[in-house]
Structure 1
Amino acid sequence: MEFYSISESGNLVLLSKNKTIVLSSNISVNVEHPVARLLDTGNFVIMDNFTGNGSQNYQWQSFDYPSDIQLPGMKLGWNLKTGLERYLTSWKSADDPSTGDFTFGFDINYLLPELVIYRGSSKIARSGPWNGVYFGGIPTNPNLVFEIIMVHNESEYSYWYEPFNNPLVMLVKLNQSGMKQWQMWNEKSNGWDLVYSAPEDVCGHYEHCGANTVCSINKTPICECLKGFKPNSEYDQTSQGCVRTLPLDCEGGDGFIKVDNIKLPDLIDVSLNESMSLKECETKCLSNCSCKAYTNSNATGGGSGCLMWFGDLIDIRKLVQNRESQDFYLRVPASELSMLIL
């Protein structure tokens, strides 16, 4: 038989029947008057009983070590000062809580915050980059249930959510199949209602249509080449992706066409300048023969910043909801420019 206790140093410890420590919270400083509390938020904390109840006085909290569920107020992401990473890990099966195959969280190597579901080290789905207002591939309207809160600064990459209606009971779960599910408690049915899940369809699966394509769930076939591109294989456009119909001619005067209402390509082989305007970004991209596309990095205040792509454009999807989205500009040769704009 095993049981929990608080040690003299203020650590939460799991003891075996002969009182051998099996697990410990490993608090680095001694707590003179340790108290363990389960808060109304669901956060289980260890604190000094004489120093107050604020979160800054928690010596340890379960919210820093999530499993497969994210509760309101529970941060996911990175504390850049301490190196602490918070992410969800799926169960092995519906009735086996051991570590499963999937994780959900941030990739710290991204230039812009983006949420990713992984199976091992392979991407399964991604949210699209944070543009200062929303994650580009996550439906935002209508949403009367919760608000997403994002902090992106020198100290942390953090993401959490809060319900608009405080008494509302809801959670986010990463299930054993790698689906991220928003669930809300229904008192009438005494069960959980599914509000939203991701990936929500096949276009939400990472790189479903190959490089330089757009996945459009409402079209048949759902995979089509970007303008100015053709299938790399006449037999299987889905897996082989697309290549340019004509090569770019940097010295001959390439131009750009606008692609509307899409989730931006994955942040692979990109550069970021947060101080440039969109016009400066166009000029910068056009002056570099390797630049394939550009957009503003931030959508607030009319748009700012410059994000440029230099390789294949991966994992683009047409958004199901028509909404104001970032203008994405794709480079094409001058000989095709007038034809592709029509």
Structure 2
Amino acid sequence: MKDIAKLHYFTILCLTFFPKLAISLTLGSLTATQSLTNEQTLVSPGQVFELGFFDPGNSKWYLGIWYKKIPGKTVVWVANKDSPLSNSSSGTFKIGDRGNIVVVDEVGTILWSSKQTQEAVDPVVQLLDSGNLVVRETSEKDPEKHLWQSFDYPTDTLLPDMKMGSNFDSGFEWNLTSWKSSEDPSTGDYSFKLDVHGFPEIFLLNNQEPKYRSGPWNGMRFSGVPEMAPLNGLKFSFVMDEHEVTYSFSITNASLISRLIMNSTGHLERYTWIESSQEWNSYWYAPKDQCDNYKECGPYGICDTNASPVCRCMKGFSPKNLQAWNLRDGSGGCVRNTTLGCRSDRFLPLKNMKLPETTTAFVDKTMSIEDCKEMCLNNCSCTAYANYMINDGGIGCVTWTSELVDMRAYTEGSGQDLYVRLAASEIAYSGSADSGNGSDKTKEIIMVIGITVGIVLLSGLTVFFVWKRKGLQMIWKEKTERRKGPRERSQDLLLNEVVISSKKEYSGESNIDDLELPLFDFSTLAIATNDFSDENKLGQGGFGSVYKGRLVEDQEIAVKRLSKSSGQGVEEFKNEVRLIARLQHRNLVRLLGCCIEIDEKVLIYEYMENKSLDYVLFDKAKRSLLDWPRRFNIICGTARGLLYLHQDSRFRIIHRDLKASNILLDGEMNPKISDFGMARIFGKDQTEANTRRVVGTYGYMSPEYAMDGHFSVKSDVFSFGVLVLEIISGKKNRGFYYANNELNLLGHAWKHWRGGNGLELIDQSLGDLYSPSEVMRCIQVGLLCVQERAEDRPTMSSVVLMLSSETATLPQPKQPGFCLGRNPVETTSSSSKQESCTVNNVTVTMLDAR
């Protein structure tokens, strides 16, 4: 006790004579007689978290909490996020008259207050090692009791032991809300909220509109998050009782640091801190793919990223809008083929499913699955049922009485079983489906035996007739082939070659039906494009022209008509048909169909209203449409699309021709990577390859690819780095080179970076309307991507992390590869549509932007 008294006396002396040292000596406590200014901080007892005033980069000041020992000031909570201070010396944090904590400006105006309802007698403010800021009575001994805590008012970050959801006793609702931008902590457009109605699940909302759904908690994880496997030392928890419905996670390994953040780009991300590399690692994020988009396939539609197209109707259902469905727009969903008959109905079992939306579902935690089936069958409005939890062999009952929406299928070992109600005539009597009425087993056995005997007899007759017809078919086929001209045989050969090579490359991934695209008649496309008129032409490249078209159902499309004289066009066509048709991501352009008639080879894509990035970026009159937020969104979206190709798609895809003209922009200026004619597929464990035929575009090719034909994911990373610097500067790398006798754009950017004046690189059309720290971060990322040695360049997963996190620590870039230096063959023609130069005896095809 004497030691404690001495320490207390020593603390009072320090507070009196050394006020600036007071905060560090109080070990995270602030009393009613103290205040906190910009030069002071509160530190938690274990030096884990720190509270103080900070400037995120917008020249405004906020009171926030960040990790004490992690470089870069990773902010996890902000008090006055919508009421910032105008300068660093104007703010004070203190305990107010009623014991609440407040942030006031230089004239005493309260900008933020904790507003607790219970008045404090002798309050003290403490910052805990959990990151929780609490107000409690000084005399209170119970650490769980407090008057107010910051954990009840989360901003964009969920820390260990924080809760999301609702407490019905206190009335608290805990949600995550994004910052406006990486430099503006004010309330953003995105939120992550736990809907407690029905069978609770979490929604990611954009201005209150659902964009992503987690699925309900199934006892082990959220139904729509199969990646939710516990880390070593990370434990997930879900509580659903009469007092609360909450989700939280906890840390059981003291060395692990993890946080969940709703970021300003619309993604929910889990980060873990890697001590060895001193950086945050993006462990998981959502939405991740096309099937994560809310209601992607509409009512009764099932989304499957392992299929092409991703949307399909389950047995007993057909597309509601067949034309839109064939054009890969599944939002209209599916409709029943046969009207339900109530008690005579049966149930179709679907395995490895993300359960449909459950906000209106009925839950019984104790009912067996058999009783659940019987209850659903007896309720003619019941559309499906499933287990409430999947652990312990399945527990409880969930039933739906409305349309089934936002379903997706997973691979083996993920998701859970779902039983969908169908008319009895839609399901054959077999062990694979549930019986609608199990009372008359004898009739079922007799029926099964009868059906079996009939099938055997029918099969015998079928074999006989097939054998008899086979000879006739061979004769007919020979006659037909002889009547075909060379053009028709060439068309059949091309189609057959596409299918065969597709089956070879994707063996074991899908059946042949998955390889088919909607086939368009050439006459239909001619009408849609006004007979491929110049008025409809969107652009032209080395392989042909692209036209805007409009189908009779008013669907706008982009039609790529391959040049008849292009020898490479056939290879490009086959590559796109068998590759891009399988790729599904919001930042990849969608292939809607193809046309092969005589000597015409045509690809049909979704129409991009704002054409290509180079069409806008490099045009002095149009570049003003690209303000900095849009440019930053294009950089981040392109990075996510490239990450999908390199890592998240079923195969590792190397694009090999990433450039501004191959980034298309939709109506909202969102980027979509296009033109996969030169792309290459790598095996699961393959990381690099060599080619004797170098294809690509001068100015975007990495040195090792242009000089030696060596390409890998790092080749695409180099091209992305060039693209980033072009987006920032508004200048072409190749065009910039010819405008300067010494440096290309990469050398110019490197020179400014080393000189400490990187912001001079920014496009002058932006004026002062940009975020300096965001621009500098993008320049640094761009330079890291164009480093000369491939092994020095980051992977796209690291790039996405560096772009999305304002707190990630970025390494310093090394000298970039300067794209082969000067072209040995100078040309003065700027109107040429196709040029070539030879470097190290390698022929390089250069395509102008379309």
TM-score tier, shorter chain, comes to over 0.9
State the one-letter code of the partner of 1:246: T
Distance in 1, Cα, partners of 2:161 & 2:395: 30
Structure 1 residues 46-125: aligned runs within 5 Å: 46-52=135-141, 54-55=143-144, 57-108=145-196, 110-125=197-212
Give the corresponding residue for 2:16: none
State the one-letter code of the partner of 1:254: D
CA deviation profile, 1:298-329 (whole Å, cap 9, x unmatched):
33443333222222210001124x32653211
Alpha-carbon spacing, 1:53–1:250, altered in 2? closer, same or farther (3 Å): closer
Give the corresponding residue for 1:243: 335
Alpha-carbon spacing, 1:215–1:324, altered in 2? closer, same or farther (3 Å): closer
Give the alignment partner of residue 14 of structure 1, picking from 103, 106, 115. Answer: 103
Distance in 2, Cα, partners of 1:331 & 1:157: 29
Secondary structure at the counterpart of residue 135 of structure 1:
coil
Give the corresponding residue for 2:421: 331
Question: Are positions 1:303 and 2:372 aligned together?
Answer: no
Give the alignment partner of residue 224 of structure 2, picking from 137, 146, 149. Answer: 137
Alpha-carbon spacing, 1:311–1:243, altered in 2? closer, same or farther (3 Å): same
* Conservation of the 8 A alpha-carbon contact between 2:165 and 2:247: yes
Structure 1 residues 251-290: aligned runs within 5 Å: 253-267=344-358, 269-290=360-381
* Conservation of the 8 A alpha-carbon contact between 1:268 and 1:309: no
State the one-letter code of the partner of 2:173: E
Structure 1 residues 191-206: aligned runs within 5 Å: 191-206=279-294
Give the corresponding residue for 2:313: 225
Question: Are positions 1:180 and 2:268 aligned together?
Answer: yes
TM-score (norm. length: structure 2):
0.38
Distance in 2, Cα, partners of 1:284 & 1:155: 27
CA deviation profile, 1:216-243 (whole Å, cap 9, x unmatched):
1111111111111111122222121111
State the one-letter code of the partner of 1:99: T
TM-superposed CA distance for 1:339, in Å, is: 7.6
Secondary structure at the counterpart of residue 416 of structure 2:
coil
Which protein is richer in strand relative to its size? Answer: 1
* Conservation of the 8 A alpha-carbon contact between 2:388 and 2:396: yes
Distance in 1, Cα, partners of 2:228 & 2:191: 26
Distance in 2, Cα, partners of 1:333 & 1:104: 38
Secondary structure at the counterpart of residue 103 of structure 1:
strand
TM-superposed CA distance for 1:51, in Å, is: 1.0
Distance in 1, Cα, partners of 2:107 & 2:129: 33
Distance in 1, Cα, partners of 2:360 & 2:193: 21
Alpha-carbon spacing, 1:273–1:143, altered in 2? closer, same or farther (3 Å): closer
State the one-letter code of the partner of 2:216: P
* Conservation of the 8 A alpha-carbon contact between 1:248 and 1:333: yes
Alpha-carbon spacing, 1:339–1:233, altered in 2? closer, same or farther (3 Å): farther
Distance in 1, Cα, partners of 2:142 & 2:273: 28
Give the alignment partner of residue 189 of structure 1, picking from 262, 266, 277. Answer: 277
Give the corresponding residue for 2:244: 156
Alpha-carbon spacing, 1:272–1:80, altered in 2? closer, same or farther (3 Å): same
Give the corresponding residue for 2:670: none
Distance in 2, Cα, partners of 1:308 & 1:22: 48
State the one-letter code of the partner of 1:168: L
Give the corresponding residue for 1:27: 116
Q: CA RMSD in A?
A: 2.0
- The structure showing larger relative contact order (alpha-carbon pairs under 8 Å, at least 6 residues apart) is 1
Distance in 2, Cα, partners of 1:172 & 1:272: 28
State the one-letter code of the partner of 1:125: Y
* Conservation of the 8 A alpha-carbon contact between 2:224 and 2:415: no
Alpha-carbon spacing, 1:104–1:141, altered in 2? closer, same or farther (3 Å): closer
Distance in 2, Cα, partners of 1:77 & 1:5: 30
* Conservation of the 8 A alpha-carbon contact between 1:171 and 1:183: yes
* Conservation of the 8 A alpha-carbon contact between 1:268 and 1:311: no
Secondary structure at the counterpart of residue 322 of structure 2:
coil
Distance in 2, Cα, partners of 1:93 & 1:221: 34
Alpha-carbon spacing, 1:190–1:328, altered in 2? closer, same or farther (3 Å): same
Distance in 1, Cα, partners of 2:237 & 2:363: 23
State the one-letter code of the partner of 2:200: P
Distance in 1, Cα, partners of 2:359 & 2:259: 31
Count of residue pairs the alignment pairs up: 338
Percent of pairs identical after alignment? 38
TM-superposed CA distance for 1:140, in Å, is: 5.0
Secondary structure at the counterpart of residue 235 of structure 1:
helix
TM-superposed CA distance for 1:334, in Å, is: 1.3
TM-superposed CA distance for 1:141, in Å, is: 6.0
TM-superposed CA distance for 1:194, in Å, is: 0.2
Alpha-carbon spacing, 1:141–1:100, altered in 2? closer, same or farther (3 Å): closer
Distance in 2, Cα, partners of 1:298 & 1:189: 39
Secondary structure at the counterpart of residue 112 of structure 2:
strand
TM-score (norm. length: structure 1):
0.92
TM-superposed CA distance for 1:104, in Å, is: 0.5
Alpha-carbon spacing, 1:72–1:269, altered in 2? closer, same or farther (3 Å): closer
TM-superposed CA distance for 1:249, in Å, is: 2.4
TM-superposed CA distance for 1:10, in Å, is: 1.6
Distance in 1, Cα, partners of 2:230 & 2:413: 13
* Conservation of the 8 A alpha-carbon contact between 2:126 and 2:133: yes
CA deviation profile, 1:91-119 (whole Å, cap 9, x unmatched):
111111111111112113x2222111111
Distance in 1, Cα, partners of 2:187 & 2:428: 54
State the one-letter code of the partner of 1:112: F
Distance in 2, Cα, partners of 1:152 & 1:54: 25
Distance in 1, Cα, partners of 2:130 & 2:376: 48
TM-superposed CA distance for 1:214, in Å, is: 0.9
Give the corresponding residue for 1:165: 253
TM-superposed CA distance for 1:279, in Å, is: 1.2
* Conservation of the 8 A alpha-carbon contact between 1:186 and 1:192: yes
State the one-letter code of the partner of 2:332: Q
Distance in 2, Cα, partners of 1:25 & 1:283: 52
Secondary structure at the counterpart of residue 157 of structure 1:
strand
Distance in 2, Cα, partners of 1:43 & 1:269: 35
Secondary structure at the counterpart of residue 427 of structure 2:
helix
* Conservation of the 8 A alpha-carbon contact between 1:255 and 1:333: yes
Distance in 1, Cα, partners of 2:313 & 2:294: 16
CA deviation profile, 1:186-219 (whole Å, cap 9, x unmatched):
2233221100001121111111111111111111
Please say which of residues 329-338 and 275-284 is displaced more in the overlay: 275-284
Please say which of residues 171-180 and 4-13 is displaced more in the overlay: 4-13
* Conservation of the 8 A alpha-carbon contact between 1:144 and 1:164: no
Moved over 6 A (4+): none
Distance in 1, Cα, partners of 2:127 & 2:378: 58
Secondary structure at the counterpart of residue 221 of structure 1:
coil
Distance in 2, Cα, partners of 1:163 & 1:219: 37
Alpha-carbon spacing, 1:142–1:135, altered in 2? closer, same or farther (3 Å): closer
TM-superposed CA distance for 1:62, in Å, is: 1.0
Unaligned regions of 5+ residues in structure 1, if any?
Answer: none
State the one-letter code of the partner of 2:293: H
Secondary structure at the counterpart of residue 236 of structure 1:
helix
State the one-letter code of the partner of 1:176: S
